Chains A and B, each alone.
Chain A
Amino acid sequence: MRILTYCDVNGSDILERLGTPEYSYHFVLEAFQVALSQFAQVQRIDKPTEADAIWRQCSDASETCLLLSFAPPHKTTLGLQCPTIPVFAWEYPNLPSGNDEESWLTDARNDWPQVLLKCGAAITLSTHTVRAVQDSLGNTYPIEAIPTPLWEKFSSYRMRGTLPPDRASVDICLKTRLVDSDLLGLSAENLVTSHPDDGTPSDPEADMLLPPLPPVDDNNWLVELDSLQQDTFTESAGISEGMPPIDTGWDIPPLFNVSTRLSGVVYTAVLTPSDGRKNWEDVITAFGWAFRDVPDATLVLKLGGPDQLKHHHQMLMLMSKLSPMKCRIIALHGYLDDADYGQLIGASTYYVNASLCEGLCMPLMEFLCCVPAIAPNHTSMVDYLQPEFAFMVDSTPNLPTVWPHGDHQVYKTSRHQINWHSLMLAYQQSYIVAKSDPPAYAAMSASAMADMEDYCAIDGIALRLQQFLESRLRDLNAKEAHMAPMALTS
């Protein structure tokens, strides 16, 4: 069997497309190729139009040939002789229809059901998407949910063993543009808003009448940790040495090897802020609120996508509104190489996801191959999240929204509404587990690993891909056999 693979980005321009949807497809393709190679000859092509020539060669040599197009249906090339199967991620409960948006009228492929019917079959990454497709095309439409095989990718970090959750700190050294909340001198007092002065009187003499009162303390949730012994050991997640983080205020610091020590419980989220469904505001505000009096909680945000400076400023604003806070927030802007990404996994106590919808969420899966998580149990995450290894965040469906690739004018679909309070409590509960119950934490990690191995190890994925694709080839043969006598009789 010959399998051609295509996506609209290649290894050479991938760095420029960090955080774009095509960027994710590139990684899905690369992971799938390894699985496909177990049972087929895989050939990546640069243009979909190259497929037909190869298909004809194969045909002449009596070799079966398929094109897997790693792209959403509206970017799938139609009309090829080579059978084309789209591989796509989708995080909404319904499919785009051709006349949903004015700007779509010029390309019939914007009608996803029509594209999928023409292709005759599709592969997607989650059962949530299978449901959306079959709601539109019927339960017999051939589509299979096959996640990206990721289990093996991070095996080296697993072999070293997970870092103990109750460590006092962990040292990392990353080549990145690192923003460190501890250096920013954050203060709510300097916030300039459009809010007018409300005319509250102020009179130093009269105000002397007011009795002094102590600051408010509402950290009752921490009481159960008071009796515990403080940990003192520091782990090291990396090996190299760099310079300490620097403060560049309204600018993002330049790229260099940064060494820093992360205290206590480390939460990590990998996301693209410009992608609104990632809901990074809640990730930040719930963390800052939960741990405003907790110095040994650290949030690491690995940020990708466009408008870095705008998001840096947005983050400064959110953190200022939360300050004073004793916890620490670190943002890593831009690309991290595999070794540094692995270091980040090794340094993390938990992964955090507060998305409004997900087509798969590869970073969450990657981290779950090593550590437990905080995440909502909706859309694609239903396929792999379990309470044994995740602090589940409450969410509810049917929050109206626009198509992500449409005109952004009218609601056409929906996503989930995250219960912020539930997220905030999940931070606090997970912190208590990490600090006070290392065996429970270890059990969560073990459970996460066991489930992820079942879910996305390469052998299982390869087998499912093989069965699905062979079944499609049989469908095609049957169709041709059916067509041939028809041609004769006519």
Chain B
Amino acid sequence: MIILVHTAYHEGNVSANLGQPEYSYYFVLREFRPMLEQLGIVIDIHEPVREVDVIYRNCLSHGMPCVFLSFMPPNKAPIGLACPTVPVFAWEYDNLPHEGFGGKPRNDWRRVLKHLGSAITHSSFTVETVKRMVDTTFPIIAAPAPLWDRLAAKKHSVRSPGSNAVRLRVDGIVIDSQFTDLSQYSKAKELACAPAPLPLPAERSEGVSELELDGIIYTAVFNPGDGRKNWVDMISAFCVAFAYNADATLLLKLSHHDISEVVPQMLECMHKGGDFACRIVIVHGYLRQDDYEHMVDATTYTVNTSHGEGQCLPLMEYMSSGKPAISPRHTAMLDYIDDSCAFVVDSFLEPGTWPHDMRQAFRTLREHVQVDSLIRAYRSSYYVAKQEPETYLAMSTAAVVSLQSYCSHAVVRPRLAKFLNAIIAQDPRQAESALPL
């Protein structure tokens, strides 16, 4: 099978575009690539309109099965190709974009999907949304990024949480609430400086440095420019929950090309949190693979407070590595978060906008975590880490097992193979040209 793949960014330009729309599709494709290579010959496409059908016609003449996977949202998937085109997309809202806003018919995803005839997404939640909005029989599967094997294969040191300090080597910016004068980030100072953001704190470290972490460590990896991530509640509730716990640390690993606006806002949020004893560390920069793994190892819990997730690669990575989560159970998390492997945070629906809708009109619903429930989840998880090591270990094991059934090769590969074969089989041109065995 020839599998053509395309996405917006490639290895050479993705790091300069971290946080831009569609940047995360690069990372999704990177996780899929080894599996796709097991299923067929993978060819990277840079310009779909020029390249795909040329290869497709060559395949037809050689009787080679061929399919094109567009790792892009449906509004950006090519719609005029002869080759079967399967959009592989992430989505996390209560409905699909169903208006051709901005004068662009393709913004009505229902029409694009109906035309393309099949799709791959990453969660059962979005499979159901698509079937409800396009057609109950619409061919679509949930194929999460199959990253479990890569992480679970590593034997993570299962150590008692908070047992000893670790040192991480960071190449980038580190801002540590313990060494930062947060009074420089009051609302009054922020307003006085507006519209310019407040400067980054002088106490930050830049370049290569060593970060020492100990105690109970909560880690969240996210793109702060993505409004869905809801870091305000994550930070505020942490300050409240651990106002008197000096050995609780929230480690925020940011992925965005420009943090000069968002980091001062985060510091204002911490200032608002008052005199808290806990520690909050912002890390922005590159971690070498082994340092990244050390960060995962050092983590006690991974944290998510978002309004919705298409799948959430960082949460999946940490949980596959045996880290229980603090997370709501909604959207994609319905597939892998429950009480056995996470401190589940309650959430409710509120008005939302489709993220790429320039009007930002209220057309959908998103989830919002209950802050009270988040505070309780922080405190319960801290108690478990400190007082109930057996419970912690059981949750750690349950996290690995839960993610295995969500995103391991053994689960995703047969589902994906069967689906791609069915799409090829239903392409009349390929059925006609198939060479007799």
Q: Which of B32-40, B279-287, B370-378 contacts A (4 or more CB under 8 A)?
A: B370-378
Of residues 158 through 217 on chain A, the ones whose CB sits less than 8 Å from some CB of chain B are: 188-189, 191, 193, 195-202, 206-207, 209-213, 215-216
Determine which residue in A199, A210, A322 has the highest number of CB atoms from chain B within 10 A of its CB, and name it: A210
Is the Cβ of A213 less than 8 Å from the Cβ of B111? yes
User: What's the nearest-Cβ distance from chain B to residue A203, in Å?
Assistant: 8
Contacts of B236 in A (CB 8 A): 400, 411
Is the Cβ of B111 less than 8 Å from the Cβ of A210? yes
Contacts of A195 in B (CB 8 A): 357-360
**CB-defined interface of B250-268 with A at 8 Å, one 1/0 digit per residue?**
0000000000000000000
Given contacts A191-B360, A417-B370, A417-B371, contact A412 B106 (CB under 8 A): no
Q: Is A34 an interface residue (CB 8 A)?
A: no
A contact face: mostly helix, strand, loop, or mixed: loop
Count A-B pairs with CB separation below 8 Å: 136
Q: Is B16 an interface residue (CB 8 A)?
A: no
Q: How many interface residues does chain A have, given as a range?
A: 35 or more
Is the Cβ of B105 less than 8 Å from the Cβ of A213? no
Q: Which of A134-142, A297-305, A419-427, A476-484 contacts B (4 or more CB under 8 A)?
A: A419-427
Contacts of B368 in A (CB 8 A): 420
Is the Cβ of A193 less than 8 Å from the Cβ of B79? no
Is the Cβ of A202 less than 8 Å from the Cβ of B361? no
For the complex, give the distance between the alpha carbons of A320 and B237 in Å.
33
Q: Which of A122-130, A236-244, A390-398 contacts B (4 or more CB under 8 A)?
A: A390-398
**CB-defined interface of A327-350 with B at 8 Å, one 1/0 digit per residue?**
000000000000000000000000
Q: Is B80 an interface residue (CB 8 A)?
A: yes
Is the Cβ of B362 less than 8 Å from the Cβ of A289? yes
Given contacts A213-B114, A215-B98, A421-B349, contact A285 B362 (CB under 8 A): yes
Contacts of A411 in B (CB 8 A): 236, 239-240, 272-274
User: What's the nearest-Cβ distance from chain A to residue B372, in Å?
Assistant: 4
Q: Is A313 an interface residue (CB 8 A)?
A: no
Is the Cβ of A198 less than 8 Å from the Cβ of B79? no
Contacts of B80 in A (CB 8 A): 206, 209
Q: Is B46 an interface residue (CB 8 A)?
A: no
Q: Is B307 an interface residue (CB 8 A)?
A: no
Of residues 64 through 120 on chain B, the ones whose CB sits less than 8 Å from some CB of chain A are: 75-76, 79-80, 95, 98, 101-108, 110-112, 114-115
Given contacts A285-B362, A420-B351, contact A400 B240 (CB under 8 A): yes
Q: Is B356 an interface residue (CB 8 A)?
A: yes
Is the Cβ of B133 less than 8 Å from the Cβ of A216? yes
> Chain B residue with minimal CB distance to A195?
B358
Contacts of B102 in A (CB 8 A): 197, 200
Is the Cβ of B76 less than 8 Å from the Cβ of A409? no
> Chain B residue with minimal CB distance to A196?
B358
> Chain B residue with minimal CB distance to A193?
B360
Contacts of B76 in A (CB 8 A): 199-201
Is the Cβ of B351 less than 8 Å from the Cβ of A210? no
User: What's the nearest-Cβ distance from chain B to residue A287, in Å?
Assistant: 11
Contacts of A320 in B (CB 8 A): 361
**Cβ contact of B75, chosen from A200, A209, A420, A424, cutoff 8 A:** A200
Given contacts A201-B76, A210-B79, A396-B372, contact A409 B358 (CB under 8 A): no
Determine which residue in A198, A213, A419 has the highest number of CB atoms from chain B within 10 A of its CB, and name it: A198
Contacts of A402 in B (CB 8 A): 272
**Can you identify 7 A-B contacts, CB atoms within 8 angstroms?**
A188-B359, A200-B104, A200-B356, A206-B79, A396-B372, A398-B375, A417-B372
**Beyond the given A198-B21, A213-B114, A424-B349, could you list 6 further A-B residue pairs with CB under 8 A, ordered by the A residue number?**
A198-B358, A200-B102, A213-B110, A320-B361, A321-B362, A398-B372
- Interface residues of A, Cβ cutoff 8 Å to B: 188-189, 191, 193, 195-202, 206-207, 209-213, 215-216, 218, 285, 288-289, 320-323, 394, 396-400, 402, 407-412, 417, 419-422, 424
